[in-house]
Amino acid sequence: MTELLELDAVSLHYGSLRAVDQVSLKIGPGERHALIGPNGAGKSSLLGLIAGTLPCTSGRVLVGGEDLTSMPEHARARRGVTKTFQHSSVFLGLTVLDNIELAVQRLQGVSHRALRSLDRFDSVWKSARESLDAVHLAHRANDLASELSHGERRQLEVALALALKPRLLLLDEPAAGMSSAESAALVRLVKSLPRTVTVLLIEHDLDMVFDLAEKISVLHAGKLIASGDAAEIRGSQVVQDAYLGGANVEALFEEDDG
Ligand SMILES: Nc1ncnc2c1ncn2[C@@H]1O[C@H](COP(=O)(O)OP(=O)(O)OP(=O)(O)O)[C@@H](O)[C@H]1O
Ligand SMILES: [Mg+2]
């Protein structure tokens, strides 16, 4: 079976700092996979290497067997690899719907002129509407993004990624700053995605991780130190030793929301 995502010894160096250090990982089609680890472990950097917002220092990124390593972000987006950002990437002066159309234009390479052609416009508009529906923001479509609550803005970021019809959806702490009701809605949304969408999620809240993810990978100082199901990660000696000198692994992440 072809893996949906295969990382082959990918690294990202900032001078002498190895933000990502020789990470190899395979994620199967339709999998819900979480990436955990303390602040500064390299989680966001690794997502950047997959999405193409950061260049690999070495190693290879394959999606559906195709080597995307040297492709820019928009070329990967066209192949179904899309990422939400940890920090807000929303244009506050535009409406919710315009934000989505802009993201689709930018990453799918639909030019302004092409967008005016009716077919193209219809398909962009339709996927924008569908993704707003999916995150329960349809009633806000014509409001300015600046009028959204923090949690709604995070939902919009997920909608931006969904509008691109991802095969691989990369979520970087999507629930950060959300209320518990908003986080619960986000969990339901991710659970409701069709299995044609593979999900790789960075999340500090281990309850959410264990609820959503079938597989969990742990990064520590740029290195992948463990990968497995919830029971394997909870019981992993290497995870416990690396962070905690043998204490309970969950204790670390509870105070790590920062
Ligand atoms: N542009 C940069 N230049 C130099 N170092 C960087 C740069 N971006 C990130 N780093 C460093 O790379 C390491 C990994 O950072 P990264 O943001 O990937 O961690 P993270 O696991 O996402 O952390 P957090 O949980 O806080 O989001 C950190 O030591 C960080 O300081
Ligand atoms: Mg991060």
| Per-residue pLDDT reduced to its tens digit, 70-92 | 999 989 988 999 988 666 678 99
- Which ligand sits nearest to residue 40's alpha carbon? 1
H helical segments located in the chain: 43-51, 73-78, 96-108, 112-116, 118-134, 150-163, 180-192, 206-212, 230-234, 237-244, 249-254
| Whether residue 112 has pLDDT greater than 80 | no
**What tokens appear for 115 in the block?**
């967008």
Residue nearest to atom 16 of ligand 1 (CA): 42
How many Å lie between the centroid of ligand 2 and the Cα of residue 191?
22
CA dihedral 229, 235, 236, 239 (to 10 degrees): 100
| Whether residue 247 has pLDDT greater than 80 | no
Ligand 1 surroundings by CB, under 6 angstroms: 14, 17, 19, 37, 39-45, 86
Return the percent helix, strand and coil in the chain, to nearest 5. 40, 25, 35
How many Å lie between the centroid of ligand 1 and the Cα of residue 20?
9
| Per-residue pLDDT reduced to its tens digit, 51-75 | 999 999 999 999 999 999 999 998 9
Phi, psi of 60 (to 5 degrees): -135, 145
| Per-residue pLDDT reduced to its tens digit, 154-164 | 888 888 888 88
Pairing of strands 168-172, 198-202: parallel
Atom of ligand 1 nearest to the CA of 48: 18
How many Å lie between the centroid of ligand 2 and the Cα of residue 236?
23
Domains of the chain (ranges plus CATH)? 1-80+166-258 (3.40.50.300), 91-164 (no CATH)
Q: What is the pTM of this model?
A: 0.87
**What confidence category does residue 10 fall into, taking pLDDT thresholds of 50, 70 and 90?**
very high
| Separation between Cα atoms, residue 167 and residue 63, nearest integer Å | 9
| Whether residue 201 has pLDDT greater than 90 | yes
Q: What local confidence, expressed as pLDDT, does residue 31 receive?
A: 97
**What tokens appear for 35 in the block?**
């990436």
| Separation between Cα atoms, residue 237 and residue 246, nearest integer Å | 7
| Whether residue 237 has pLDDT greater than 60 | yes
Atom of ligand 1 nearest to the CA of 204: 25
Q: What local confidence, expressed as pLDDT, does residue 120 receive?
A: 57
